[in-house]
């Protein structure tokens, strides 16, 4: 394997690592919640709003 191929492989590994670990996953999660407003998140908010956090059905 030539030194050029080794350097290209190392740079590829570095770029994949940077893409995976520096994505703002929390920001994507918040955008998803704001856009989709999933039912499970509304349930969490409703439970927090209830007195003592207990479901009073």
Which residues have CB under 8 Å from 33's CB, separation 6+?
41
- pLDDT at site 53: 54
DSSP 52: G
b/e 12-43 (16+ beta carbons within 10 angstroms → b): eeeeeeeeeeeeeeeeeeeeeeeeeeeeeeee
Task: Check pLDDT > 60 for residue 47.
Answer: yes
Which residues have CB under 8 Å from 55's CB, separation 6+?
47
Instruction: Report domain extents, the chain.
Output: 24-57
**pTM value?**
0.46
pLDDT tens for 1-42 read 888 999 999 899 988 888 777 767 788 888 888 888 899 988
């Amino acid at each position: 394997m030539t030194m050029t191929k080794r350097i290209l492989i190392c740079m590829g590994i570095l770029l994949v690592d940077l893409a995976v670990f520096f994505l703002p996953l929390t920001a994507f999660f918040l955008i998803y919640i704001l856009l989709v407003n999933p039912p499970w998140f509304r349930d969490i908010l409703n439970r927090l709003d209830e007195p003592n956090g207990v479901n009073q059905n």
